[in-house]
Structure formats: structure tokens, C-alpha cells
Amino acid sequence: MSGDGDASGASVRRLADWDAEDLRALAAEFGTPLYVDDLARVRQNYARLAGAFPDAEVLFAVKANAGRHVLRTLAAAGAGAECASAGELARALDAGFDPADVHYTAVNPPAEDLDYACRIAAEHPALTVTAGARDTVERLAERGFAGRFCLRVHPGVGAGHSESVSTGKDAKFGVPAADATAVLADAAERGFDVVGLHAHAGSGITNDQIEEHEAVVSTLADVARETDLALEFVDVGGGFGVPYREDEDALDLERVAARTRAALDGVDATLTVEPGRYLVADAGVLLTEVNTVKRVGDTTIAGADAGMTTLVRPAMYGSYHPIRSLVAEERATENVSVVGPVCESTDVLGEDRDLPAPERGDLLAVGNAGAYGVEMASQYNSRPRPAVVALDGDDAEVVRRRETLADVTLAEDTASDPYP
């Protein structure tokens, strides 16, 4: 059931490359809204990226898609895991990642998260813990941490698909570069095993933002040269973008890799990268059914059973996702806006799309939904979250069941139950 266009592992997989008949069959069998993840495509994306960075350690940014099916696929392929929370750390270890290939890189971690990370680090000394603030270094020391330590640096330069994810210039992330060597020395004096540096430009880096990425890498290289400590690795983050719009080109990954290596010239440390979106975005689609059609002037509104609680990126970031009608017959096209069932004006999956004139019961596919799709789904408006199906060749398996109304109130219904 894999899409026809991914057989060669090409760097771009468009929504049109998915087989419409297969997608209709999945919707008929499993219902909608429905996320579909193609594990063969995940493997292809990983192989391409690992090939561009042959001497690097590749850690999957778990926040992009923490589904067990995705994590197990990437662990088997040879990837490590970058975890931004205690929950992601627990998921990565449960999925079978070797602790030596796992980094915990939380930002301002809550006390319970940090307690958990320190306990796991004590049980698995090969695990690496990253901190991005002097306070976090002190909090680790207060907990008796003496394990592998990486410092996150604030480079002051960012990139990404929107200002909301341009983390490199956000002071929330990392220790100022000018203070980094002092913080590294302090961590070493506290008994930490200082092994690395980390920084991240942002999420969704495009071809015209490679210079910003290179500037971030150069900042890390400068810090690595200034410190007297021997570092095992320099982690330049991920954020490698994918083309969401049909007319966008794929990221020139070879160019990114070459510029990254050039910026690290002379630094005696292993390169680490943390791709998330790049590995899973075009491996997933969201299927949704039209239930209401309304024509207002020159605009047609197609109301669907998926909305901002299913895929929040358009509402949160103004993100563009391609939308394709999967109707089998030929129809004249109209200017269509696809909206969801949530009582918000921002509940829009796509506006002003040239689509076949919609009718009730039509099936729509939303592309590039494999990254930050189901991960950011919510129960706002007390709506159950959607199911997820994993494809692996001709096999299709429900890997996350569709929630019910009972799931929406489960935490309240069990509020008096004792904690484990």
C-alpha cells in the first residue's frame, strides 16, 4: 500500500504520489479522521540523510512523531533518539533505543522530569543529558548527577518555517555563547562528564536559510576551540526542512552537509545531527471526510471531520499543507476552503484551494502530516483524537486506536484512583 512515488527513495514525495485507491481503502476500513504513516518511506528518508552525513551520529527528534511504530523503525535502521521530555525519554527506551544513542535535551525541565532523567542516567550511564541554563546545571548537581553532560549554546542566530520555531535566536534556548566555556568548566568541576556541545537554528530550514544554519555551526565550532575540555561530539541540531508547497524544491541536503563540515573544520569531535521533520513529514498523510458543503459567493466551504484538534499546524503557525481530493470521478474544480468542526475561525486546514467541487462523503488527503500532526492533536472542544495506521509494504496495522468520548473524560472519571 505504499505510495507509487516513493519506490526510488526520491528526496521529494508529493501528495500526488500516494495511491488514491489505497487511501480510499484505508479510510473505508479504519474510518476518518485517520493518520497514515508509511514506514518504508521513513526508512528511505533516514537512509538518504545518513548517506549525506556518513560520519555523523544521527538522532531522531522524537517530538516530530513519537509513535512506537516510528521509533522502532528508526531504531532498527540505526538512528539514535533526541528526547525533549521525560515522556519522550521513556518512549525511546521502551522502543529499544540503546541508551548510548539517546540524548535528553529538555528545555527548562520540570522537577519531576529532571528527577526521572537523573534516575535513568544513573541506571544507564551511557545516556547523555543536555542542559541549556546555569540553573539546570545547578539542579543536576543538587540531584547528584555525575553522568555524560552536553551544554546547549544560544547562538543568537535562527532559521525555520516561522518565527515561532526559530529557536536559534530565542534566548529561551541555551547558554549565551560568550558564557559557554565558563559553564562547561563549572560543569566539569562539579564532576559531570562533559562530552559535547549543542545548538539548533530552528525547525523547517530551507535552501535559502543554509547560511543561518552554518552560522550556528560556526558558533559551536568557536566554543569547541575555546574550551580546554576534550569533547566527544558537537551536536548541530536538525530542523532540516521539507517542501510543503507543490512548487517548492527539496532541501539540498548535500550542500547542507558540506557547509556543516566546513564550519566544523579543525574541531576534533564527532558531528551529531538531530533530524525530525525530514524523516517523517512526507511519510504521513491525514485522511478526512467532507460532511458539509456551503457555497458563499465565490468561495466554497468544505466542512470536514478533521480540524485544528486533529492537525493544529495551520491554525498555530499559518502552515501550508497540500490537500488533495480522492474522488474517483472527474469534476469541475472550484475555489475551496477546507475547514473543521471546531468553534474557532482559525479551524482551517487550507484556504483557497483549487479542488474538484466537493460533495458530502468526499475523502480528502492532507499531505506532509507525518511530522507534528498526531503529536500535537488535542481534545479541545472535548473531541476524541484520531486513529493512526502504519503501512509496511502491503501490511496495514492500527498502531493507535481512535479515542472515544469515554477517553475524553477518563482522567476525571479516574481522578480518585490511587497513583501507581
- Res. 3: pLDDT tops 80: no
Asked if the peptide bond before residue 33 counts as cis, ω within 30 degrees of 0, the response is yes
Residue 210 is predicted with a pLDDT of: 81
Q: Which residues are annotated as a binding site for substrate?
A: 277, 313, 317, 344, 372
CATH code reported for the domain at 105-275: 3.20.20.10
Which residues are identified as catalytic? Answer: 343
pLDDT digit string, tens, across residues 251-262: 999 999 999 999
Mean pLDDT of the chain: 92
pLDDT of residue 157 exceeding 70: no
Cα separations in angstroms, 100 against 43, 123, 228: 21, 12, 24
- 27, burial (CB in 10 Å: exposed 0-12, middle 13-18, buried 19+): buried
* 3-state secondary structure at position 135: helix
**What is the chain's percent helix, strand, coil content, to nearest 5?**
35, 25, 40
- CA–CA separation, 139 vs 129, rounded Å? 12
Section 320-326 average pLDDT: 98
Strands (E) in 62-99, as ranges, are 80-83
pLDDT of residue 156 exceeding 60: yes
Residue 94, sorted as left (phi over 0), alpha (psi -120 to 50) or beta, turns out to be alpha
Give pLDDT, residue 173: 76
pLDDT digits (tens, 9 = 90+) for 279-320: 999 999 999 999 999 998 888 999 999 999 999 999 999 999
Separation of alpha carbons 310 and 294, rounded Å? 22
pLDDT value at position 132?
94
pLDDT of residue 239: 85
Residue numbering of the annotated binding site: 239, 274-277, 313, 317, 344, 372
Q: What is the pLDDT of residue 203?
A: 61
pLDDT level of residue 200 (50, 70, 90 thresholds): confident
User: Does residue 418 carry a pLDDT above 90?
Assistant: no
pLDDT for position 179: 93
Helix, strand, or coil (residue 274): strand
The model's pLDDT over 57-98, given as tens digits with 9 standing for 90+, comes to 999 999 999 999 999 999 999 999 999 999 999 999 999 999
Residue 420 banded pLDDT, cuts 50, 70, 90: low
Confidence label for 202 from pLDDT (cuts 50, 70 and 90): low
Question: Which residue type occupies 108?
Answer: N
Return the CATH number of 4-36+282-410, one of 3.40.50.300, 2.40.37.10, 3.30.590.10, 2.60.120.10: 2.40.37.10
CA pair distance 405, 102, nearest whole angstrom: 36
Instruction: Give the CA distances from residue 22 to residues 25, 55, 63, 368, in Å, rounded to whole numbers and listed in that order.
Output: 5, 38, 28, 17
Q: Are 312 and 383 in contact (CB under 8 A)?
A: no
Report which of residues 162 and 228 the model is more confident about.
228
Output the known binding site for pyridoxal 5'-phosphate. 239, 274-277, 372
* DSSP summary character for residue 258: H
pLDDT digits (tens, 9 = 90+) for 333-389: 999 999 999 999 999 999 999 999 999 999 999 999 999 999 999 999 999 999 999
> pTM for this one?
0.93
H/E segment holding residue 128: strand 128-131
Residue 208: Cβ-neighbour burial (10 angstroms; 0-12, 13-18, 19+)? exposed
Q: What is the pLDDT of residue 121?
A: 98
Q: Which residue ranges make up each domain of the chain?
A: 4-36+282-410, 105-275
The pLDDT value recorded for residue 204 is 66
**pLDDT at residue number 174:** 87
Parallel, antiparallel or unpaired: strands 233-238 and 387-392: unpaired
Residue type, 52: A
| pLDDT of res. 160 | 38
Residue 4: the pLDDT is 42
The Cα–Cα gap between 81 and 87 comes to 13
Tell me phi and psi for residue 363, to 5 degrees. Answer: -105, 130
Query: Is residue 8 predicted with pLDDT exceeding 60?
Result: no
Give the number of other Cβ atoms within 10 Å of residue 244's Cβ.
19
For residue 161, what pLDDT band results from cuts at 50, 70 and 90? very low
* Residue 215 pLDDT class (50, 70, 90 cuts): confident
